[in-house]
């Protein structure tokens, strides 16, 4: 969510579609208390599963409340993010990402194809995180990537690690509900994550923009993760493209809710029963905005392909397999080098 990579979907700002007049309806809001409270019942779980399935099929996005994540953790990380980005550019660049590791700080640039107006800090959920050494299909060496830690704010490491633990718990709960909504056993997806992850968290800072009609916080894109969990402050900016009419819908921030969206990996696993949906972030001339997406990725050597339980003679596989780690590494390299070409997409693996 809010942009692992987006070049292929960026639109000219002056040609943006108007926001939907049905915007007030918004994305579905789902109460997770049946799985986070002590008073659960099979019927409540069944109803929740159907609600999740409907949101996944109709929107690919939904908002969750009563999710079990302590509000204090979210507040602490948002405050730490504000403190980090308030530093001088020189201090922030002391923990810049580089070609040897994508963890750390960077500024998005205004170029011919990319019109992002933001600053970013990326942080791996697991340390070290195992990744393929190259995108060469014949080279199976693995490297270990570690995080860069800023000196300010001083408690940054503890704050972000505690938050990541809660994000992982929530991600597993959501993946169970999504699995059941597809008619799969609840733990079906767990095997792809339990033996290793390439998940990461991103701190986004969108400064006020004097010319908001000429820039986007993040251009229109889809996430290549399995699932993305987004926390945001009270400033509006996230917009989702409604599947039914292709109009943009503004997501209203709520102080303790999380925005959930399906990524490309679930689209492939479900063989297109569920889809990853386009979204973007807007900027404005008055207020700065902060958001924190958590991108839930499986282990680097996971072979992503339609699940066998969801394919048959009448519904054959629509994608050929790909390795999650090599796919993500390719996109990271392309994004870092800012090559003037479209990045790798799951539609490149689409079968005729």
Domain CATH number, residue 145: 2.60.120.330
How far apart are the C-alpha atoms of 170 and 165, rounded to whole Å?
9
Local confidence band at 253 (pLDDT 50, 70, 90 cut-offs): confident
**Residue 97 within any structural domain of the chain:** yes
Number of domains into which the chain is organized: 1
Q: Give me the percent of the chain exceeding a pLDDT of 90.
A: 74
Name the more confident of 300 and 218. Answer: 300
Distance between CA 121 and CA 204 in Å, rounded? 7
* Confidence category of residue 258, pLDDT binned at 50, 70, 90: very high
122 backbone dihedrals φ, ψ, rounded to 5°: -105, 145
pLDDT, residue 137, reads 83
What mean pLDDT value characterizes the chain? 89
Q: Is the pLDDT of residue 20 over 70?
A: no
Establish if 1 belongs to a structural domain: no
Three-state secondary structure readout of 6-38: CHHHCCCHHHCCCECCCHHHCCCEEECHHHHCC
Classify residue 291: in a domain, yes or no: yes
pTM of the model: 0.91
Q: What is the domain range of residue 267? A: 7-349
Is residue 111's pLDDT more than 90? no
Alpha helices by DSSP H, the chain: 33-36, 42-58, 71-85, 89-92, 156-181, 191-194, 264-269, 324-337
How would residue 340 be classed by pLDDT, with cut points 50, 70 and 90?
low
Residue 343: per-residue pLDDT: 81
In terms of DSSP bridges, do strands 61-65 and 29-31 run parallel, antiparallel, or are they unpaired? parallel
Long-range contacts of 242-248 (CB under 8 A, 24+ apart): 242/20, 242/59, 243/58, 243/59, 243/60, 243/275, 243/277, 244/58, 245/20, 246/17, 247/17, 247/18, 247/19, 247/20, 247/22, 248/16, 248/17, 248/18, 248/19, 248/20, 248/280
pLDDT at residue 185 tops 60: yes
Q: What is the mean pLDDT of residues 80-95?
A: 97
Q: Is it the case that residue 39 has pLDDT exceeding 80?
A: no
What pLDDT, on the 0 to 100 scale, is given for residue 138?
Answer: 84
Pairing mode, strands 104-107 and 119-124: antiparallel
Least confident of 19-33, 266-280, 293-307: 19-33
Task: Mean pLDDT check: name the lowest of 25-34, 184-193, 268-277.
Answer: 25-34
């Amino acid at each position: 969510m809010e942009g692992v990579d987006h070049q292929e979907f960026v639109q000219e700002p002056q040609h943006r579609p108007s926001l939907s007049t049905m915007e007030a309806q918004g994305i579905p809001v789902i109460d997770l208390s049946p799985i986070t409270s002590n008073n659960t019942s099979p019927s409540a779980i069944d109803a929740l599963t159907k609600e999740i399935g409907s949101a996944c099929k109709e929107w690919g996005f939904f908002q969750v409340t009563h999710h079990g994540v302590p509000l204090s953790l979210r507040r602490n990380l948002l405050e730490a993010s504000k403190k980090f980005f308030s530093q001088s550019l020189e201090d922030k660049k002391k923990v810049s990402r580089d070609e040897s590791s994508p963890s750390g700080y960077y500024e998005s640039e205004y170029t011919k194809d990319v019109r992002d107006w933001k600053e970013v800090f990326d942080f791996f959920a697991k340390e070290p995180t195992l990744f393929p050494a190259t995108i060469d299909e014949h080279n199976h060496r693995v490297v270990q990537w570690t995080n860069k830690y800023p000196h300010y704010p001083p408690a940054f490491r503890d704050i972000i690690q505690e938050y990541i633990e809660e994000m992982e718990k929530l991600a597993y709960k959501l993946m169970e509900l999504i699995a059941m909504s597809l008619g799969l056993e609840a733990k079906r997806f767990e095997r792809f994550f339990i033996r290793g992850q390439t998940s990461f968290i991103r701190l986004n800072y969108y400064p006020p923009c004097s010319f908001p009609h000429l820039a986007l916080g993040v251009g229109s894109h889809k996430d290549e993760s399995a699932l993305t969990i987004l926390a945001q402050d009270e400033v509006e900016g996230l917009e989702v493209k409604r599947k039914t009419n292709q109009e943009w819908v503004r997501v209203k921030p709520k102080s303790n809710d999380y925005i959930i969206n399906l990524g490309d990996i679930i689209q492939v696993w479900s063989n297109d029963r569920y889809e990853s949906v386009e979204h973007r972030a807007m900027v404005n001339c008055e207020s700065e905005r902060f958001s924190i997406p958590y991108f839930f990725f499986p282990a680097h050597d996971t072979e992503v392909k339609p699940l066998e339980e969801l394919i048959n003679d009448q519904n054959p596989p629509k994608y050929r397999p790909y390795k999650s780690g090599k796919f993500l590494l390719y996109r990271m390299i392309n994004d870092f080098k800012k090559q003037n070409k479209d990045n790798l997409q799951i539609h490149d693996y689409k079968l005729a």
